[in-house]
Structure 1
Amino acid sequence: MSLQAIDPRHLSGPILVVLPRYIGDAINTLPAIALLNELYPGKKIYLLVRPYMREVLQRAHGYDFELLDDARHQAEEQVSLLGFAKTLRALRCSMAVLFRGSLTDAVLCKLARIRYVAGYAQNGRTPLLSHPLKVNHCHHYLFRYCRLVNDIHGKPFEKFALPRLTAKTLPLKQSQSRATGVYIGSKNKGARHYPEELAAQALLRIHQQCNTRFYLLGDPSEQQDMEELKQLLDAEGVQVANLAGKTSVGELVDTIAAMDAMITIDSGPMHIAAACQVPTLALAGLGTSPFSLVAPLTPLCQTIASHSTSLNEAEIICAIAPQEVAKQYLDLFS
């Protein structure tokens, strides 16, 4: 089906952008938001975000948007779908761009009486979209988000810029030590988790070859796992600080931006590091999406992919040897 291109000159009201629910995905929508800024200079663009994500997007300098908390997901006094639709209706938005494949979000925009609603035709929501696009599952996620903006406007763009975050400066550097952030997840990350024992061996090898101080990162649920990793490293005299559970989401961005390098699994911290232009080593086992579709496109991110033949999903990432992690880490600075 051929879609009629939207003419930016004919849109009078603001634009609503519905962001994905995860931090890494939300960061990856920034190039598409930059395209909207170019198409609609000076027009108000609302980014509908879950409240916990606000601190991250406040560090997305160079983009023109206003953050709008999704009241359906507030910790206290959650608002119903119908109640929130009334709030959006008062904004008189002319267009909504859905970067999530959610049926509920399409219903929300319909109830908010938004004329143009663009999104991928999935999850039974096609009748609710004025501009449904067929998703190509081979496209990189950055490409998918940008295509959603580009195609509905008649394909005026040929390229997009990579996402970028500008963090607050933190005084983490100590003497001549190289600051390295480490995020291996914990058991709550399932098959993406790189075991503490293997991580300890990799970090010890790095410590033996260069003057490095490691900063273990994570959320409160990962604090104990990172403490176990810290104890393994303390026993070997490795410089290490456990920051898991001790930073807000915004402070996590600032901390990662202060690093000389990152070692991470496929995760939000990986995308934060890429957007902050921090040299990154990504450990890729079995992810929530094919890694080729979510891997940061910056050359500053190098990947070690598992070549495991194990039928046990949790064992796949274990095929990434600690000595290979150490070697690739040192190659980041060669």
Structure 2
Amino acid sequence: MNLSNPSTFNLQPSTLLIELPTWLGDTIMATPAIENIIKTVNPKKITIVGSYVSTNALKNHPKIDKIFIDNTKKSKNRLFATYKLAKKIGKHDIAISFRSHFFSKLLLFFTGSKKRYIFTPSLLHSFTANLHQVEKYNYFINSIFKTNLPPSDLKLYLPSIKNSLLPSALNLQPLLGINPGATYGSAKRWYSKYFAQVAKHFSNNFKIVIFGGPNEVSIAKEIENFLLQEGVEPINLAGKTSIEELIFYISKLSLFITNDSGPMHIAAAFKIPTVAIFGPTDYSSTSQWKNPKGKVVSLNLECAPCMKRVCPLKHHKCMKDLTPNMVIKTAKELI
């Protein structure tokens, strides 16, 4: 994990560079560790670098001074692009990456930062294998600074949204958000019709809001059409929100039904009552962290968690056999 000279470093550096995880959910799960870094070293300047979604999730953090978006993966010559990005970022007293990719090592090296630390799961002690991802990130930070700080709650700072896509009349109406997408792969996605049936069931008590990224517009439209046929008019925000807007709107929900996804972790940060649907992924390591109002629904099949993007057995029973009634029953426990 330590790619620098292991000599003792100054615990009050002037500058700190943090490379964030690529995915939205992983970035949010890294926030307790990031808060512990800041608490431990109290740097004068903090720079973050990462994907568009990860950097935008944390751009409202009051202690972050500079933000760089890493688009080097799209470059024809990624090595040269990484070098150029590193020179833009510049040298920092301490550089920490929550990624274990080869190009993350190069990025930190090219910045010229003397103290460089890379999250390397294979170098973590074996007992961390069964820990939650939040705990793994936090263990990484404790191992760097020789501290024993526990991971706190997830931490997101609310943006100020001036032109809301939600009508102001909804301020007094309970909102049920549904999130049918999951970036990792189709195996993580519960079925559109199932989501629609759950939304229909609660439509007399909640205004329905559909969430989704640019690649999930068609899924969200299927749900919207089903609800319209049932006489329910939802608000479909799929493909219409920035990351900041997504954070803002999820923070306003009264109830959230979601796949294992980045938005699920946004809801956890704000303690939103949430039903999280897990099929092929491991809820013991990526479920909502410290959300007392969060519940997991899973069939716990023998083939799960397979951690595959597409069902390797071709039957997808972990999601297909997980019925809307199961989710409705769990959601009622949160209302």
TM-score, normalized by the shorter chain, greater than 0.5? yes
Candidates 326, 329, 333, aligned match of 1:327: 329
CA displacement, residues 21-49 of structure 1 (integer Å, 9 cap, x when unaligned) = 11111111111111111112242221112
Task: In structure 1, give the amino acid aligned to 2:50.
Answer: V
Partner Cα distance (2:232, 2:271) in 1: 26
Farther off after superposition, 291-300 or 198-207: 198-207
- TM-score of the pair, normalised by structure 1: 0.83
CA distance 1:41–1:307, change in 2 (3 Å): closer
Alpha-carbon shift at residue 59 of structure 1 (Å):
3.7
Partner Cα distance (1:276, 1:251) in 2: 14
Provide the residue aligned with 1:184 in structure 2: 180
Provide the residue aligned with 2:16 in structure 1: 15
Task: In structure 2, give the amino acid aligned to 1:205.
Answer: H
Task: In structure 2, give the amino acid aligned to 1:264.
Answer: T
Alpha-carbon shift at residue 316 of structure 1 (Å):
1.3
Partner Cα distance (1:249, 1:315) in 2: 32
* 1:42-57 to 2 correspondences below 5 Å: 42-57=43-58
CA distance 1:255–1:5, change in 2 (3 Å): farther
**How large is the Cα RMSD of the aligned pairs?**
3.0
The alignment partner of 1:174 has SS state of helix
Provide the residue aligned with 1:115 in structure 2: 114
Q: Is this contact kept in 1: 2:156–2:269, CA < 8 A?
A: yes
Partner Cα distance (1:156, 1:189) in 2: 36
Alpha-carbon shift at residue 244 of structure 1 (Å):
0.7
The alignment partner of 1:80 has SS state of helix
The alignment partner of 1:247 has SS state of coil
Q: Is this contact kept in 1: 2:177–2:209, CA < 8 A?
A: yes
CA distance 1:241–1:188, change in 2 (3 Å): farther
Provide the residue aligned with 2:154 in structure 1: 163
CA distance 1:253–1:15, change in 2 (3 Å): same
CA distance 1:74–1:152, change in 2 (3 Å): closer
Partner Cα distance (2:320, 2:60) in 1: 34
Provide the residue aligned with 1:259 in structure 2: 253
Partner Cα distance (2:235, 2:120) in 1: 46
Provide the residue aligned with 2:41 in structure 1: 40
* In the alignment, structure 1 residue 196 sits paired with structure 2 residue 188: no
* In the alignment, structure 1 residue 213 sits paired with structure 2 residue 207: yes
Task: In structure 2, give the amino acid aligned to 1:299.
Answer: P
Provide the residue aligned with 1:94 in structure 2: 93
Alpha-carbon shift at residue 262 of structure 1 (Å):
0.8
Candidates 140, 146, 150, aligned match of 2:132: 140
Provide the residue aligned with 2:296 in structure 1: 303
Q: Is this contact kept in 1: 2:55–2:69, CA < 8 A?
A: no
Which segments of 5 or more consecutive residues in structure 2 lack a partner in the other structure? Answer: 304-312
Partner Cα distance (1:80, 1:87) in 2: 11
The alignment partner of 2:271 has SS state of coil
Partner Cα distance (2:7, 2:201) in 1: 56
Partner Cα distance (2:101, 2:108) in 1: 11
- TM-score of the pair, normalised by structure 2: 0.83
Alpha-carbon shift at residue 84 of structure 1 (Å):
2.1
CA displacement, residues 64-90 of structure 1 (integer Å, 9 cap, x when unaligned) = 2234213444989997122223233xx
Provide the residue aligned with 2:285 in structure 1: 293
Q: Is this contact kept in 1: 2:50–2:70, CA < 8 A?
A: no
Task: In structure 1, give the amino acid aligned to 2:317.
Answer: E
The alignment partner of 1:15 has SS state of strand
Task: In structure 2, give the amino acid aligned to 1:37.
Answer: I
Alpha-carbon shift at residue 113 of structure 1 (Å):
2.4
CA distance 1:204–1:308, change in 2 (3 Å): farther
Alpha-carbon shift at residue 281 of structure 1 (Å):
0.9
Count of residues in Structure 1 that have an aligned counterpart in Structure 2: 315
Partner Cα distance (1:246, 1:34) in 2: 30
Partner Cα distance (2:220, 2:248) in 1: 19
Q: Is this contact kept in 1: 2:21–2:54, CA < 8 A?
A: no
Partner Cα distance (1:6, 1:65) in 2: 25
CA distance 1:73–1:284, change in 2 (3 Å): same
Q: Is this contact kept in 1: 2:298–2:318, CA < 8 A?
A: no
